[in-house]
């Protein structure tokens, strides 16, 4: 695993001033960032979100998913607490990349759900990996997390790399008529822990 820390800077946002840390992943040739606020010294678990890049949701305000709303909610919660981290991983479209995601969206326009669309293109339902988090968390000395997620696979992956997940905080936000089927598929086919109907 060749993940290398590059540099840090201040990142003022509407939610507060974060520190942004850049990492280079030699294995995937991707650049990941971590946004942090506060001090991670001591034993107290860190409030965190592991967020996979979603240009359409995070940057273009798409209502097809809940990603942008989840990112903003996580920034807001961390700023309220004054301590936490967002690990922003560059693995667009559950790991299939932006252009394949557009191809998958085209199939969804014709009636496929997110899993069916990925599989029709020859991909697995979710190709994301989380092993790059181990050296990134080690850089900050993070041993344990209170994680904002609905994805049990993410919690399992963190535990597999030796990160103690002390608490899962449900992170449901951004439901709308355009993403109802997307959220149903997350719950029914990918096992996400979603309560809202």
Residue 168 assigned ligand-binding role = no
The catalytic residue among 128, 131, 153, 164 is 128
Q: Does 126 participate in catalysis according to the annotation?
A: yes
Residue 2 assigned ligand-binding role = no
Instruction: Find how far residue 47's CA is from the centre of its chain.
Output: 14
Residue 114 assigned ligand-binding role = yes
Residue 153 assigned ligand-binding role = no
Residue 159 assigned ligand-binding role = no
Q: Does 128 participate in catalysis according to the annotation?
A: yes
The catalytic residue among 126, 129, 164, 168 is 126
Residue 49 assigned ligand-binding role = yes
From the annotation, which residues make up the binding site?
49-54, 65, 67, 70, 92-94, 114, 149, 154
From the annotation, which residues make up the binding site for GTP?
49-53, 70, 92-94, 114, 149, 154
Residues with catalytic roles: 126, 128
């Amino acid at each position: 695993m060749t993940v290398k820390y590059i540099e840090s800077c201040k990142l003022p946002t509407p939610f507060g001033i974060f520190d942004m840390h850049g990492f280079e992943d030699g294995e995937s040739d991707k650049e990941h960032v971590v946004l942090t606020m506060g001090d991670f010294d001591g034993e107290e678990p860190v409030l965190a979100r592991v967020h996979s890049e979603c240009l359409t949701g995070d940057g273009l305000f798409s209502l097809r998913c809940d990603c942008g709303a989840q990112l903003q909610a996580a920034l807001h919660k961390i700023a309220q607490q004054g301590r936490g981290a967002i690990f922003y991983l560059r693995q667009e479209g559950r790991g299939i990349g932006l252009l394949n995601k557009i191809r998958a969206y085209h199939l969804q326009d014709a009636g496929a759900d997110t899993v069916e669309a990925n599989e029709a293109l020859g991909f697995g339902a979710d190709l994301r990996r989380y092993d790059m988090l181990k050296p990134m968390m080690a850089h900050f000395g993070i041993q344990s997390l209170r994680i904002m997620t609905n994805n049990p696979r993410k919690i399992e992956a963190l535990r597999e790399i030796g990160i103690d997940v002390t608490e899962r905080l449900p992170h449901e936000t951004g439901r709308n008529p355009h993403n109802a089927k997307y959220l149903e598929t997350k719950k029914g086919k990918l096992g996400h822990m979603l309560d809202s109907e």
